[in-house]
Amino acid sequence: MNKKITVLGIESSCDETAASIIQEENGKVKILSNIISSQFDVHKEFGGVVPELAARAHVEKIDLITEKAISESKININQIDAIAATAGPGLIVCLTVGLNFGKTIAASLNKPFIAVNHLEGHAISPKFNSELNFPYLLLLISGGHTQYLLVEGLGNYKRLGTTIDDALGEAFDKTAKIIGIEFPGGPKIEKYAERGNKERFKLPKPILNRGGCNLSFAGLKTAILRMQPKIKNQKDRFDLAASFQKTIEEILVEKTKVAFQMYLNENNYFNKTFVVAGGVAANKGIKSRLTKLSADNKFECLFPDLSLCGDNAAMIALVGLEKFKNKTFNELNFNVNPRWQLDEKAEFLKGAGVKIES
Ligand code: KG4
Ligand code: ZN
């Protein structure tokens, strides 16, 4: 008889408090519950996430959210085989809440505890809806990270390129703020873009033809800031959003072409799989351009299900499940790691002073 493996995942790295129960049976993984509580209302008036308020909201909600995840999954708490919680990267005060809560449950149930890298959760999130084999090329686009990585296996990453300044989600959010869209504005940019003239504003594409598949978005923000006085009515907002969306799509297409080549040069197995994950992977325009580019280059292109692009605990539980099968457990004294990178050997590359070789 095949044993079921049941994992509880907990996520609290930024402004989402989340818990999920997933279960593997006969090699198939099912999400039994996936509860996410977002803190939009807590941070709205500040125009961004306030760490202390976020942490307090996590403290207030984490037990209720976890209880809900367990009751919705219809499992008995004793059926849980392991507890996985995000240990980094993220806001230290927020990570601490979920990690400690996860450890406490693991200790009280006397079950293995698994510390998860949040970015690894995003990296393998398409596994819920597609067959995903190593190695693959990953484009991780979230609110805090923007990287191309060669993924050779669980915990085995080589960074091929990174943003040298803002993350892509951050660029979306800042643009939205300049246009006057309420926080968090990223997802609304594409709605505005659908109604605008994408040819109206000419925006820069920093380091487009140099620096390998490294990226830069800070110049775009500055350009948009300069255009702000010209934004007087709704039509102007739609046009600027459309021009921004188009510019981002063009940057990602060009940089992905470079990343494809770098990946093929690195990877002896020629597994032509391209995964796009993280909050910004929910953007339909980006998805359609990168899907087409992949088809033209004979890459299989995988995105997570739309509901799993943003932060969630199902992806954290999935990393936990994989580690449970490898018997990779952590001690209860495992500490939060707010700067935990997927490729810990990659050099720090940030700031306008960074020299990008061509
Ligand atoms: O992965 P995620 O939920 O959180 C982090 O780990 O950072 O990503 C959140 C980011 C935010 O910046 C948000 O504005 C952006 O993803 N985002 C989008 C869209 N949906 C979420 N950006 C552009 N288009 C979208 N549809
Ligand atoms: Zn995330």
Q: What is the dihedral of CA 276, 277, 280, 283, to 10 degrees?
A: 50
What is the rounded distance in angstroms from the CA atom of residue 358 to the CA atom of residue 216? 14
Confidence (pLDDT) at 190:
95
Confidence (pLDDT) at 51:
86
Residues 150 and 252 in one domain: yes
Classify residue 344: in a domain, yes or no.
Answer: no
> Which residues, given as ranges, of the chain have pLDDT below 70?
1-2, 269, 351-358
Classify residue 256: in a domain, yes or no.
Answer: yes
Ligand 1 site residues, Cβ closer than 6 angstroms: 14, 142-144, 169, 172-173, 184, 186-187, 190, 278-280, 282-283, 310-311
Indicate the top mutation candidate among 12, 37, 280, 286 to test ligand 1's pocket, ranked by most ligand atoms within 8 A of CB.
280
Residues 97 and 144 in one domain: no
Nearest CA-CA partner of 17 in 73, 80, 60: 60
Residues 143 and 291 in one domain: yes
Residues 138 and 100 in one domain: no
Residues 230 and 266 in one domain: yes
Residues 223 and 258 in one domain: yes
CATH number of the domain at 203, please. Answer: 3.30.420.40
Confidence (pLDDT) at 357:
60
Burial class of 12 by CB neighbour count within 10 A (0 to 12, 13 to 18, 19+): buried
* Atom 19 of ligand 1, residue of closest alpha carbon: 187
Classify residue 342: in a domain, yes or no.
Answer: no
Residues 153 and 188 in one domain: yes
Residues 223 and 203 in one domain: yes
Classify residue 77: in a domain, yes or no.
Answer: yes
Classify residue 279: in a domain, yes or no.
Answer: yes
Is residue 210 within 8 A of residue 226, CB to CB? The reply is no
Confidence (pLDDT) at 3:
86
Confidence (pLDDT) at 352:
52
Classify residue 343: in a domain, yes or no.
Answer: no
Q: What is the dihedral of CA 31, 37, 43, 49, to 10 degrees?
A: -40
Give the structural domain span for 108.
Answer: 5-125+308-325
Classify residue 166: in a domain, yes or no.
Answer: yes
292 Cα–ligand 1 center, Å: 22
Residues 145 and 224 in one domain: yes
Classify residue 107: in a domain, yes or no.
Answer: yes
Could you give the count of Cα atoms lying within 13 Å of 236 in the half-sphere of its Cβ?
11
pTM: 0.95
Confidence (pLDDT) at 21:
98
Mention every residue, 6+ apart, whose C-beta is less than 8 A from residue 242: 192, 193, 194, 195, 196, 197, 198, 200
Q: Where are the beta strands (DSSP E) in 91-244?
A: 113-117, 136-141, 146-153, 156-162
Confidence (pLDDT) at 351:
67
229 Cα–ligand 2 center, Å: 33
Q: Where are the beta strands (DSSP E) in 72-214?
A: 82-88, 113-117, 136-141, 146-153, 156-162
Residues 291 and 147 in one domain: yes
pLDDT tens by residue, 30-66: 999 999 988 777 777 777 788 888 889 899 999 999 9
Residues 241 and 274 in one domain: yes
Residues 47 and 85 in one domain: yes
What ligand is nearest to the CA atom of residue 144? 1
Single-letter code of the amino acid located at 296: D
Confidence (pLDDT) at 47:
73
Query: Mean pLDDT for the chain?
Result: 94
**Structurally, how many domains does the chain consist of?**
2
